[in-house]
Structure 1
């Protein structure tokens, strides 16, 4: 992925308005790993924090949380939204380049970024900046061709959307315990579905910051207004002036230091 394509204020502001699905992932982590309802980690790290929604979710189980992202515009938006709260910190860094904190991290989370990094360097860096027994939560979720009780959406997604906006190539490998470096161990791996209700306009806003759509706009092949009009025209018969429930697929890998 060209990280520059996400280093824009337009994308960062769009990320800040995405559905807060990260909160469901963190809530599930608490249950899956048998943590009490009131358990709080001391110092958390979110790698690839985007515009901060993911960091906000991790903060629900941390007294302090630091977010890092390789895109300066993402960190700028994070500081605009959360910078007045001293329990948050943000700085610009690649996933492999987390700085040594004053207090090592006891929980780390990262979503949608492990397929783009140097995996060995990323893990080596985590070993350096985390405490023994640290939990590392690696997860991702993505849109599908499934919308509850709306079969027309699947046809739109497969036959129109993906043909116009093909997915960019990326690694899709699933980590196993054998892929982890010495000092890390796979604790548990799960797959699941997440559901979110969208209005037509909210769904179009969400789709406008998808990587395959953004690639077409940033390359100059398409104009943002043109894409919005196409989506409005083709999706209006599917949404029928009401909210529809989109199904996301997701996974989480729980790793222990």
Structure 2
């Protein structure tokens, strides 16, 4: 699939608009995996580094990679993180080097059987895999008119681009992973009209539909301003979806 985020102007939209839900999603994941802390983690499709920030809370060292050089360039550096421009199909890590692999808001862009095979290569037996994302359907608490606009105007004007499933458990099993655990949890976050507009214009559907040289943030802020009278924040309701699995340990043949 075409990467809609490989441009500096889009990376700037991403930095401004994406929300930091990653630590909350990762806490859910580590409870499912029964992991407290790891030595080496790989953060795949790290984008501008929000996901890496969360992984650094639970890992001694993180190798973070993204196929977009513009995204990697925009990521905030950290002494325990190494940022590399690389695809999920060719992770620059030796075999069985990682205890944990994480993928935030990106697995639907991948050739999942190929990437799962590569993740099985870089993880040690028993290592954990976390695939998670945030979803927004236009629900603002106590402001149903925004949801009406979101369904009738926003999604029709900016339809979703083609993508795969959130996670394919059957492909994971074929690659050598065990059973998949999935959790969906609501996440409430107060947003102003400017913050909501920044989030919307950072999404792949708007990125694909707008000119790389035009920043639609101001126009989107003006369009949704009536739903935020006097720019009062509204509580947006997101769904956090978290899937986890372990790489199976080979049977002892001794």
Given the two structures, how large is their TM-score scaled by the length of structure 2? 0.89
Summarize the Cα distance change of 1:133–1:141 in structure 2 as closer, same or farther, 3 Å threshold: same
Give the Cα–Cα distance (whole angstroms) in 2 for the partners of residues 43 and 254 of structure 1.
17
Q: Work out whether 1:233 is the aligned partner of 2:222.
A: yes
Q: Secondary structure at the match of 2:174?
A: coil
Give the Cα–Cα distance (whole angstroms) in 1 for the partners of residues 52 and 145 of structure 2.
35
Alignment partner, residue 251 of structure 2: none
Give the Cα–Cα distance (whole angstroms) in 2 for the partners of residues 34 and 55 of structure 1.
20
Map 1:2-81 onto structure 2 (within 5 A).
2-3=2-3, 5-17=4-16, 18-35=18-35, 39-78=36-75, 81=76
Give the Cα–Cα distance (whole angstroms) in 1 for the partners of residues 45 and 186 of structure 2.
22
Q: Work out whether 1:252 is the aligned partner of 2:242.
A: yes
Figure out how many residues of one structure are paired with residues of the other and give that number: 245
Alignment partner, residue 224 of structure 1: 215
* Cα drift, residue 57 of structure 1: 0.7
Gaps of 5+ in 1: none
Summarize the Cα distance change of 1:237–1:212 in structure 2 as closer, same or farther, 3 Å threshold: same
Q: Secondary structure at the match of 1:185?
A: coil
Q: Work out whether 1:170 is the aligned partner of 2:169.
A: no
- Please say if residues 107 and 166 of structure 2, whose CA atoms lie closer than 8 Å, have aligned partners that are also in contact: no
Gaps of 5+ in 2: 248-254
Q: RMSD between aligned alpha carbons? A: 2.1
More displaced 10-residue stretch of structure 1: 149-158 or 166-175: 166-175
Alignment partner, residue 250 of structure 2: none
1:75-98 Cα shifts (integer Å, max 9, x gaps): 1112xx21xx32010101111110
Give the Cα–Cα distance (whole angstroms) in 1 for the partners of residues 116 and 221 of structure 2.
43
Give the Cα–Cα distance (whole angstroms) in 1 for the partners of residues 123 and 167 of structure 2.
23
* Cα drift, residue 100 of structure 1: 2.5
Q: Secondary structure at the match of 2:46?
A: coil
More displaced 10-residue stretch of structure 1: 52-61 or 7-16: 7-16
Give the Cα–Cα distance (whole angstroms) in 1 for the partners of residues 167 and 40 of structure 2.
27
- Please say if residues 45 and 66 of structure 1, whose CA atoms lie closer than 8 Å, have aligned partners that are also in contact: yes
Q: Work out whether 1:212 is the aligned partner of 2:211.
A: no
Q: Secondary structure at the match of 1:218?
A: coil
Summarize the Cα distance change of 1:236–1:25 in structure 2 as closer, same or farther, 3 Å threshold: same
Summarize the Cα distance change of 1:179–1:47 in structure 2 as closer, same or farther, 3 Å threshold: closer
Give the Cα–Cα distance (whole angstroms) in 2 for the partners of residues 13 and 74 of structure 1.
9
* Cα drift, residue 176 of structure 1: 2.7
Give the Cα–Cα distance (whole angstroms) in 2 for the partners of residues 31 and 69 of structure 1.
26
- Determine which of 151, 157, 175 is the counterpart of 1:158: 151
Give the Cα–Cα distance (whole angstroms) in 2 for the partners of residues 16 and 159 of structure 1.
28
- Please say if residues 43 and 103 of structure 1, whose CA atoms lie closer than 8 Å, have aligned partners that are also in contact: no
Give the Cα–Cα distance (whole angstroms) in 1 for the partners of residues 123 and 171 of structure 2.
21
Given the two structures, how large is their TM-score scaled by the length of structure 1? 0.88
Summarize the Cα distance change of 1:182–1:66 in structure 2 as closer, same or farther, 3 Å threshold: closer
Alignment partner, residue 233 of structure 2: 243
